[in-house]
């Protein structure tokens, strides 16, 4: 594949009778003509109905070949048409200026309502007060039974989660089936990369340089930098930067909802690629990553709709928190996710280094614009609709959150999204079971509900630690054999967690992290704070995107 000559997309000559280039800023398009073709269709094709005069409709486009391809459809819709050339950026800006609100509405409702959380009603004050009153009343009326019930549930989810983790680790350690030789690709496809940005001026310059290292024909690599309309600082920085020709800026109209999945959905129609990739602002992907992705998609059938790359950190050595975060990521991306895939269970996707077949992504409804953990939700929706996601052996380096406050904010957003995702997909349990089957439905419940329960009820489980140290049973009523069984189960769970972390750090670049594995006992309790914050927000601010600041430790990498 490396010896394949580069192929550039060369527009065809303009057809006879076309008009001179037009200035869409001086003479904006007629919005009624846009509506006749449809704003979404305009975005997808790059065709913009401009003006109508003398019974002829003028169609603005940047490429004559696209106009010629769609000319019969345009004539059937408008009657006689004629082409006029205009820069692609000007066409996109004019479309967003005239019909940005309509495109934003499509972005916010792209996911089917039955699989979306957008109808979640959130009256913050009333729900929070009701929840608080209910909890206080139950605890006051029956404190010991409540604590006993919660502890029993925590132990049950601990046992199920430990069993699942042991199973996925063993599955991940099985030798992978041999892969065939790389496929011969007659014509490399166009790949679009979506990079949502929000207040990222401190890292945007490095992002452009990192993406420029990708070893793929630039004419076939379509990079969209997605910026919010009211983020003028980032927009001005990018406008002043000398971006490569294959990088474009897509501006998302402002609205009451401001989430990463909304931005991705808005930019999706403007993509040119057959495959769609997602990166975060701080990412540093491996240079050969796109070629490996394209080759794997060509090896697999159409039902493999998504490839998830591995994530790692370039600032793992910055402090204790980043080291523990790196251990956690190594366990998740090098053991847990591959093991889930080997066992045939749905994969809760990561938010970056994700690649999709465009047709499949559009078929499942894109991203749920209201879900703040849109990646995990999308992985579950893909599985429910019969598609498969696979892990691929390619790494992207990103920035580990180095400060406890930022870590809690980020983790609370993830846990809140897990809560919302579990509620949405459990609305109709029989339908979920029909879609996934018994084995995968059980896996989803253990994975999502178990993770939520463990984060929320971890303080109760700490009492098991006290029992292992000889402190009396906090409930004061457990029989001695049951106390011993609880202690054994708890120690077994900790042994599985530590063993998985040590195994995950077996690669040369991670061996220095093994000494930090015991520090996870001090690291994971922060998840309980994040879970309480998530529970509080899910009742009143379910769609609030608590953004993680980037660039705080980026200068340590040199990446």
pLDDT per residue as tens digits for the range 423-448: 999 999 999 999 999 999 999 999 99
d(CA 347, CA 380): 7
The dihedral over CA atoms of 299, 300, 306, 307, expressed in degrees to the nearest 10, equals: -40
Q: What are phi and psi of 272, to 5 degrees?
A: -100, -15
Q: What is the pLDDT of residue 12?
A: 41
pLDDT band at 516 (very low <50, low <70, confident <90, very high): very high
In the chain, what percentage of residues exceed pLDDT 70?
A: 87
**pLDDT range class, residue 121, cuts 50, 70, 90:** low
Tens of pLDDT, residue by residue over 351-384, are: 899 999 999 999 999 999 999 999 999 999 999 9
d(CA 214, CA 356): 18
Question: Is residue 5 predicted with pLDDT exceeding 70?
Answer: no
3-state secondary structure of 82: strand
Tokens of 257: 């909802």
- For 142-184, where are the alpha helices, taking DSSP H only? 143-173
Q: What domains are there in the chain, each with its CATH number?
A: 1-108 (3.30.300.160)
* pTM higher than 0.75: yes
Tell me: the pLDDT tens digits for 77-102?
999 999 999 999 999 999 999 999 99
Q: What is the mean pLDDT of residues 258-267?
A: 96
In this predicted structure, which of 95-109, 189-203, 336-350 has the lowest mean pLDDT?
Answer: 189-203
Residue 214: closest CA among 157, 277, 258: 277
* Predicted confidence band of residue 11 (pLDDT cuts 50, 70, 90): very low
Which comes out higher in pLDDT, residue 237 or 309? 309
Give the pLDDT of residue 294: 96
Q: What is the pLDDT of residue 559?
A: 44
CA dist., res. 327 & res. 502, Å (int) = 8
Phi, psi (5° rounding) for residue 2? -65, -25
Q: Which one has a higher pLDDT value, 505 or 238?
A: 505
Interval 518-528: pLDDT, tens: 999 899 999 99
Burial of 362 (0-12, 13-18, 19+ CB in 10 A): middle
Q: Report the pLDDT averaged over residues 124-138.
A: 60
What is the SS3 assignment for 235? helix
Does residue 232 carry a pLDDT above 80? yes
The sheet carrying 284-285 orders its strands as 247-252, 221-228, 191-197, 275-278, 354-357, 304-313, 388-398, 284-285
C-alpha 294/C-alpha 53 separation (Å) is 46
Distances in Å between the alpha carbon of 338 and those of 104, 288, 295, 438?
35, 21, 19, 20
Model confidence at 558: pLDDT above 50: no
**Could you report the per-residue pLDDT of 294-348, keeping only the tens digit for each?**
999 999 989 999 999 999 999 899 899 999 999 999 999 999 999 999 999 999 9
Please report which confidence band the pLDDT of residue 7 belongs to, taking 50, 70 and 90 as the band edges. very low
- Residue 3 pLDDT: 41
Residues 102 and 39 sit within 8 Å (Cβ to Cβ): yes
């Amino acid at each position: 594949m490396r010896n394949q000559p580069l192929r550039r997309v060369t527009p065809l000559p303009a057809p006879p009778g076309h008009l001179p280039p037009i200035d869409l800023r001086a003479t904006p398009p007629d919005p009624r003509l846009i509506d006749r073709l449809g704003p979404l269709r305009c975005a997808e094709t790059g065709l913009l109905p401009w003006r109508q005069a003398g019974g002829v409709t003028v169609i603005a486009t940047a490429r004559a070949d696209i106009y010629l391809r769609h000319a019969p459809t345009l004539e059937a819709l408008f009657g006689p048409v004629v082409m006029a050339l205009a820069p692609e950026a000007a066409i996109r800006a004019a479309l967003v200026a005239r019909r940005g609100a309509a495109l934003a509405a499509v972005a916010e409702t792209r996911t089917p309502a039955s699989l979306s959380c957008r109808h979640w009603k959130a009256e913050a004050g009333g729900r929070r007060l009701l929840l608080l009153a209910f909890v206080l009343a139950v605890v006051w009326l029956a404190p010991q039974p409540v604590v006993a019930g919660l502890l029993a549930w925590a132990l049950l989810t601990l046992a199920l989660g430990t069993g699942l983790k042991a199973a996925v680790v063993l599955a991940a350690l099985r030798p992978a089936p041999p892969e065939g030789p790389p496929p011969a690709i007659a014509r490399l496809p166009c790949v679009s990369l979506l990079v949502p940005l929000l207040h990222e001026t401190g890292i945007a310059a490095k992002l452009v340089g990192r993406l420029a290292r990708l070893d793929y024909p630039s004419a076939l690599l379509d990079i969209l930098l997605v910026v919010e309309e009211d983020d003028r600082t980032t927009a001005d920085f990018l406008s002043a930067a000398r971006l490569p020709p294959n990088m474009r800026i897509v501006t998302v109209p402002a609205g009451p909802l401001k989430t990463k999945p909304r931005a991705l959905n808005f930019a999706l129609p403007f993509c040119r690629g057959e495959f769609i990739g997602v990166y975060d602002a701080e990412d540093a992907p491996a240079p050969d990553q796109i070629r490996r992705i394209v080759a794997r998609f060509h090896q697999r059938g159409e039902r493999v709709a998504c490839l998830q790359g591995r994530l790692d950190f370039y600032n793992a050595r910055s402090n204790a928190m980043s080291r523990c975060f790196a251990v956690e990521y190594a366990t998740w991306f090098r053991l847990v996710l591959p093991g889930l895939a080997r066992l045939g269970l749905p994969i809760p996707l990561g938010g970056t280094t994700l690649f999709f077949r465009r047709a499949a992504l559009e078929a499942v409804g894109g991203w749920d614009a209201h879900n703040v953990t849109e990646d995990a939700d999308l992985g579950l929706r893909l599985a429910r609709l019969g598609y498969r996601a696979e892990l691929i052996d390619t790494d992207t380096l990103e920035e580990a959150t180095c400060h406890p406050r930022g870590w809690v904010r980020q983790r609370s957003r993830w846990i809140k999204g897990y809560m919302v995702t579990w509620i949405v997909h459990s609305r109709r349990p029989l339908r979920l079971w029909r879609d996934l089957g018994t084995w995968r439905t059980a896996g989803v419940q253990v994975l999502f509900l178990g993770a939520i329960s463990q984060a929320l009820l971890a303080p109760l489980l700490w009492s098991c630690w006290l029992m292992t140290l000889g402190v009396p049973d906090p409930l004061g009523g457990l029989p001695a054999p049951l106390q011993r069984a609880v202690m054994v189960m708890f120690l077994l769970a900790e042994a599985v967690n530590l063993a998985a972390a040590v195994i995950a750090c077996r690669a040369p670049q991670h061996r220095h992290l093994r000494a930090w594995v015991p520090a996870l006992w001090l690291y994971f309790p922060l998840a309980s704070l994040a879970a309480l914050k998530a529970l509080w927000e899910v009742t009143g601010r379910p769609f609030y995107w608590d953004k993680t600041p980037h660039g705080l430790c980026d200068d340590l990498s040199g990446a």
